[in-house]
Amino acid sequence: MKPGFRLLGATGVRLGDQPVRPGPPQQQALLAVLLLRGGRTVTARELVAGVWGQDAPARALRSVRTYAWALRALLEPDRAPREPSTLLRSDGDGYALRVPDDALDVTVFERLLGVAREARAHGDLASAHRSLGEALALWGGEPFTGVPGPHAERERTRLVRLRLEAQEQYFDCALDLGMHGRVLPELSALAREHPLDEHLQGLLMRALDSCGRQAEALKVYGDTRRLLAAELGVPPGRELTRIRDGLATGGRAARSGPPATPRSPAAGGGPTGREGATVELERTLTDPRRHRVPVAVITGAGGTGKTTLATRVAHRVAADFPDGRLSVDLRGSHPTRLPEGDVLARLLRSLGVPPEDVPAETEQRAALYRSMLGGRRILIILDDAADAAQVAPLLPGSPGCAAVVTARSRAFVLPGATQLALPARPGPATDRRRQLPPRLALALDSLAGSGAPTLPIELVGRLLGTDREEAEHIAESLVDAGLLDSPGYRMYRIACPDAPSPEGS
């Protein structure tokens, strides 16, 4: 009898047309780990980590064997006692559960989302809407309801985000197909559940406008604007504002279509204003050309708000990355810069790899990291990078993922990335020099008077007549003031924030 599995709701198992009980919650957790691995082998250690995490009891490994035995009996009730299992196979100390792709509702759900994406890319909105409807009809509630364990919690979060993205795409297609009246009640209910989701509120505004309820659409904008200010301290993004502007001028609500193609740095440099940088970063990360990996580099002196900008925009584009966000401080401007291998280990643990399963070699860690990003849509924020060599093994290679890198130096350039330079503190450099403490002002004069194009920390110390530690403290204070630039680790040069940025920076 062909088995069937349901995880998009309460865990369900069927043999042919007959439902069977999936067993106790921890056995269901084990089943979920095996099913969601797509037929690949899961080691016993991974199963223990997925079902119990850090709270695994001493008998956890024995329980894994017991649950595996019970699942074999459940899935193949007619199998002879010593006959090998054709579904749940032993492999080393682990197990692999191999079932047809159409036997698991999660696999079917994700396949239908892929079909819908392809249809939308070719302009076939009716087919996309139909596929999205079929995908959403598979849901019966919270994924694997009541199933315990870290693996279930991570996958539950991922799938719920994926469902919300599918719902938004479903409504987007429906509005473009003129179904606004039919979907308005369901869309209104979903928008109430997610009041901070700007894309969802924009869809609701479009639906209300199409139904001739412009005043209500404008009220949605006002309510959302106040809530964003109170909860997050940010104004509405460009999409919601564009829709509001269309209504406020007596026109129709603008369609929330794909964002504009990001501007190439080589075509005149990236924007330097904060509002321009915000818009450009959002455009880059939501680039519809999913065959590439969008990467943005934000540069600026210490205290200019690089991390704040990255975090703020990451929240706005969260719906484009339903599998979540990874953030890591690379400490590139500190003496304790993190080695690439250590950063990869942190990222792998964030992706659910148990510490004992993290490979020893950096190259192996990088390969595992990129393989785990495959097929996912994750935004990665690499904060305070020292140089391109530190960042290179940390960039995703899978279409659908994206990365934001922050660095102090305007000389920090990644090929193919969108470069965004945040301005230094207001006022010309001469004004900022009058605001320095006298000791720092004299130090700046000494460094500028040397005429050296670059200032290694050793030269800084000699010019200032001080030891290396004090020289670094003075230099970093001048970097924070926007009067020195740091193009590399413990390398400095006189900054010219009022001059145009060189091409590509």
pLDDT in tens, 289-311: 555 788 999 988 766 778 878 88
Lowest mean pLDDT among 15-29, 225-239, 281-295, 367-381: 281-295
In this prediction, residue 217 carries a pLDDT of 92
Q: Identify the band that residue 504 occupies on the pLDDT scale cut at 50, 70 and 90.
A: very low
Average pLDDT over residues 58-77: 92
> What's the mean per-residue pLDDT of the chain?
82
Check: CB of residue 310 under 8 Å from CB of residue 383.
yes
Residue 270 in this model has a pLDDT that exceeds 60: no
Pairing between strand 295-299 and 94-97?
unpaired
Of residues 205 and 82, more confidence is placed in 205
Check: CB of residue 61 under 8 Å from CB of residue 48.
yes
Q: Identify the band that residue 503 occupies on the pLDDT scale cut at 50, 70 and 90.
A: very low
At which residue do the structure tokens 């070699």 appear? 361
How far apart, in whole angstroms, are the C-alpha atoms of residue 94 and residue 71?
14
Task: List, for residues 95-109, the tens digit of each pLDDT value.
Answer: 999 998 899 999 999
How far apart, in whole angstroms, are the C-alpha atoms of residue 339 and residue 210?
54
In this prediction, residue 466 carries a pLDDT of 85
Q: Identify the band that residue 267 occupies on the pLDDT scale cut at 50, 70 and 90.
A: very low
Check: CB of residue 418 under 8 Å from CB of residue 505.
no
Residue 257 in this model has a pLDDT that exceeds 90: no
Residue 129 in this model has a pLDDT that exceeds 90: yes
For the chain, list the domains and their CATH numbers.
1-163 (1.10.10.10), 178-256 (1.25.40.10), 265-421 (3.40.50.300), 429-494 (1.10.10.10)
Of residues 470 and 266, more confidence is placed in 470
In this prediction, residue 424 carries a pLDDT of 59
Check: CB of residue 238 under 8 Å from CB of residue 256.
no
Please state the separation of Cα 21 from the chain's center in Å. Answer: 37
Of residues 131 and 389, more confidence is placed in 131
Residue 226 in this model has a pLDDT that exceeds 80: yes
- As a whole-number percent, the residues of the chain with pLDDT over 90 amount to 29
